[in-house]
A and B are shown apart, each in its own frame.
Chain A
Amino acid sequence: MTITPRATGARVLRREDGRLLRGGGRFVSDATVPGMLHAAFVRSPHAHALIRSIDTNHAAATPGVVAVLTAADLDPGVEPIRARNGSPNYQECDMPILAGEKVRTIGEAVALVVATSRYTAEDGCDAVAVAFEPLPALMSIEEALDPTSPPIHDSMERNLFNEFHTTAGDVDAAFATADHVVELELRQQRCSAIAMEARVVLANYHPAEGTLTVWLSTQVPHLARTGLALHLGLAETRVRVIAPDIGGGFGPKCVLYPEDIAIAAASRILGRPVKWTSDRVEDIQATVHGREQIARVKAAATNDGRVLAVTAELSASNGAYGPWPYTASLESGQASENVTGPYEIANYERHVRAVITNKTMMGPYRGVGRVIATLAMERMMDELAARLELDPLEIRRRNLVRTFPYTTATGLRFESGDYLALLDRLEEVMEWQALRAENAELRAQGRYRGIGVAFAVEQSAYGPLALGTRKMAITPGYDTSAVRMEPDGRVRVAVGLHNHGQGHETTVAQIAADELGLRVDDVDVVFGDTAIVPYGLGTWASRSTVCCGAATILAAGDLRARLTLLAAEMLEASPDDLLLADGAVVIRGSPSHRIPIADVARRALHEPHLLPEGVDPGLEFTRQFMPPEPGSFANSVHAAHVELDPETGRVEILKYVVAEDCGTVVNPMIVEGQVQGGVAQGVGGALLEALVYDDDGTLVTTSLMDYLVPTSVEVPPMQVVHQESPSQFVPGGFKGMGEGGAVNAPAAIVGAVNDALAPFGVAANHTPLKPEWVRRAMRNRASHPYQAEHADQPQHTDHEKGFAR
């Protein structure tokens, strides 16, 4: 007998590739419905303005235009989006579906034109006349917090969504006894996720049925359904959300947008299907941004390099609104939980602010908060290493958590791992010491190379309490898998996650196949349609393999038990003596005594008259899994080796190594792909990408010619090595790892650039490190004290082109 080889751990090629490679993907932008109309939005050109009047007469008379809708046309029955948060200091605000009285950010929608084509809809938009009365725009965190600045929301007294402060341990005593104190201010830019497919909404309201079907580019189909029902006053049973293939997510497609509601409302008003496909300009303006934050951090350390305490003051520029349902606490709150990183630091104080500014709302983007948290901690480690003349790896070694489980000052429980071994592995694969020596030699010849390291722990699959304490209206702390065997013995797994590149159609099938003794090809995975899959909470925060993988193991276990019970009778054996392998139920130790799984399936589904007493028919089992509190913790360490060009300021990445530990690896090919893609976004964040506003609050980087997404030339080849420390709290031992690549990369690259800049007495404390900054840093050579260049100041020089591309 051949036993099916275990699929978990194998490089199984992806099941989803066939359709995508043949041009047969089912992307939301490909969806059509007979009679479909097309919409375009009139958007605010001002960051902050009163709306005096909107004249839609010319637009309505434009050939091809079917309707022009403004706020007045949507009311009543359409509710503004209010991201509710019950935290004591949280100030909620309404986000209009279409702004009627005031706009608070560039790109805010004020009217919606529905027409026979997108072209004529845009003609209609051109003919809408909106009289704005501009107001002063508050574009920086400092301006917004200035007590003399007016509140952006009239309902509030200050421009703060949230503010809180916590202390763990005895921070003051640690600083009082410290040999060294390092203090830094770090600034991180605004970024856009730039999913290659921008957002798409196709809403079809069926007047006779009172039902609404929405094809939506969402990572969270059921949450989107809840959001649509809530804001349109519809029963959830009457709303269906279909999210087939979507062209990248990265976080922003987890959010409910005003456009989602507006398009559905337009379909209901007109009784016709209406489609809106975001163009790239409006995607950059009106899809949530990420990252922008200032971190003021301080570390107290001993002479031998042990960090005793850390304080962090974190302020994010959250823009004008809070994303539903996550609210505006996300960026700075999550940063504050993770500043101490993988290090054993018991004394920690944080002061967290979510600041309201006249910018696009910030929301989830791969690595939320942890990017600046990692940058801040790793910068402090490098400063301390330099001061104590220690190798950057050595100071980390002296501070890494060594015993597990370990609970951090903010209550994160790192369940398992071997951080020291992972660092050793990185040192070896990177050839760290050899490169350091080579860098020193080359420096003497006037070549500037540097090496940097960044270690981070990745909180994945947040537990229900971890999310519940954030007091959002919805606590998305579990997920669901429904495993069903069909009469032919094949299995269909319906999951609450959403697959948009992560390979879940393959990895979930691998997991189910192993539980049921099947080949991967015998399992099909379905997702992305609220009418088909069980209630689930979607794909974000590296939760899918942990939540749905574990739920699949549980549900497949129930199915296995039913199959075993039936087969026991058919084989006249004890259920305890049976196992599922090679597409059959087999008697342990007697492999010739077997019954094909399809025979057992038929017994359960087509031969109820032959069922043993007490055994129910049916082979369909649904299970939920709630991740352990406060999540499952993967870890990784990255190293970058760079060379700076003194003439152009270009940073070239010569070598990049990632050592990662995400517990049980279901499919190393896919894990490596996720790491590589994350690093690429981290390279963009470290060196290229920045959303830049001018003094009036105009977003000037609204094309891919201004907002620089890294190409194959900027992203370096990477080497990824694995270590496996399974989670003891998750069936299967999985830990999520989808974001990590993006989290460590900016810190590793900044560390490497700073190492190369050491002879100039300059160190970067911001991202991105654009060529003009690097060039200037290399020219300033001790003649001027270094002035930090602030990411949120207008950087007109960003328009100098022709570098690194």
Chain B
Amino acid sequence: MSELRKVAIEINGERYEREVEPRLLLSDFIRHEAGLTGTHVGCEHGVCGACTVQVDGAPMRSCLMFAVQAEGHSLRTVEALNEGMDGALHPLQQAFHECHGLQCGFCTPGFLMSIEPYLPEAADWDDRQIREMLAGNLCRCTGYQNIVSSVRLAAERMSRGELNKSPESAAPDTVEA
């Protein structure tokens, strides 16, 4: 146990002030201090990407940062991905849903937060480039193919300026022929 330090971190627009040990990982701060459990921890050594959040807009592995290092920075987690969309899914979440880009869903928040900043560029990418962008995150369920399709669909929709309209877009009743 080491001395506690005061830290103030902004997550999803909310300020969290806590006294924490300097060794506390940012991932644990997000999950246990802020109670935002959508961010998952898969390896705690920076390989799997499940804990990826956006720090000042850039994807970061929250297991490779200490909470005290996030002092004064602005974080965004999966819970805020569809902020301002009236409860509808973000186009990337919607694309994951439509393309079956997730199975157990544990790695999914990390993928979403890693991919989202690249969507404006990804509309012009081929599959190989999308796969290279995704290679920093591990998924053990899907075999990645449907994640690649999800990225493509979301990037294309966003480049056409299409946003989700229906707040119920995650409703499961869509039956395709």
Contacts and interface: CB of A to CB of B under 8 A. Distances in A.
A526 to B, nearest CB: 15
Nearest to A705: B47
A532 B120 CA distance: 46
Interface residues of A, number: 71
B138 A709 contact: yes
Nearest to B133: A712
Nearest to B42: A196
Contacts of B40: 27, 29, 196-197, 247
A238 B41 CA distance: 32
A712 B106 contact: no
B69 interface: no
A178 interface: no
Nearest to B41: A29
A27 B141 contact: no
- How many B residues are at the interface, by size bracket? 35 or more
Contact of A27 (B47, B78, B106, B135): B106
A673 B38 contact: no
Given A12-B175, A13-B97, A196 B127 contact: no
A717 B140 CA distance: 15
B98 A673 contact: no
A717 B145 contact: yes
B148 A712 contact: yes
Interface string B33-51: 0001111111111011010
Interface in B113-139: 127, 130-132, 134-139
A669 B100 contact: yes
Interface string A269-298: 000000000011000000000000000000
B38 A25 contact: yes
Contact of A7 (B89, B109, B145, B175): B175
Contacts, number: 213
Helix, strand, loop or mixed for chain A's interface?
Answer: loop
Interface string A643-687: 000000000000000000000000001101100111111000000
Interface in A9-45: 10-18, 20-25, 27, 29-30
A617 interface: no
Contacts of B1: 62-64, 119-120, 123
Interface string A455-492: 00000000000000000000000000000000000000
B60 interface: no
A503 B36 CA distance: 25
Contacts of B131: 712-713
A704 B45 contact: yes
Nearest to B110: A196
Nearest to B108: A20
B52 interface: no
Contact of B77 (A23, A64, A119): A23
- Which among B23, B39, B130, B176 has the greatest number of chain A C-beta atoms within 10 A? B176
A261 B169 CA distance: 43
A8 B108 CA distance: 27
A33 to B, nearest CB: 13
A677 B170 contact: no
A23 B140 CA distance: 18
Interface in A199-227: none
B45 A703 contact: yes
B43 A712 contact: no
B141 A10 contact: no
B89 A246 contact: no
A535 B105 CA distance: 26
6 contacts: A14-B100, A673-B103, A673-B146, A677-B143, A711-B136, A715-B145
8 tightest CB-CB pairs across the interface, nearest first? Answer: A23-B38, A247-B106, A20-B105, A501-B103, A676-B143, A501-B104, A680-B143, A18-B170
